[in-house]
Amino acid sequence: MAPSSGAVIFDGTDTKKYVGDLAQLLIVPAETPGGMMGYWVRLDGVAVSLCQKQDRESDVRLDSGSPLSALPTAIFKKPAAAFPSAEYIASSDVYSVDFTFAGKA
């Protein structure tokens, strides 16, 4: 498909969009962190190929319609080192990461 077009897949899986096996996860109850609406699941680790995973659990929100990914700061600090452009914004307690690599967005 051309970059300016899109696709909707009903009752199917586009295996070109990910690597590995899909897994079924339990949805975190309605009392989600900060009262934010969305699909939340329990994250049991995070990894970047340049550093080790964090072995603590945390609730994370699944959101495929936004360029924003929210992870607790304590979990993201070590993987953030893998992104030299990561900028910590203290007033919001978040890291901003520019995901433009090798001149490509």
pLDDT tens-digit map of 23-36: 787 777 766 656 66
Q: Which residues contact 37 (CB under 8 A, 6 or more apart)?
A: none
| pTM: predicted TM-score of the whole model, two decimal places | 0.35
Across the chain, mean pLDDT equals: 67
Q: Which residues contact 10 (CB under 8 A, 6 or more apart)?
A: none
What sign results for the dihedral spanned by CA atoms 89, 68, 49, 60? positive
Give mean pLDDT in consecutive 10-residue pieces for the chain, a chain of 105 residues: 64 78 75 66 62 58 61 69 79 71 52
pLDDT tens-digit map of 60-74: 666 656 556 666 666
CA 82 – CA 25 distance, rounded (Å): 27
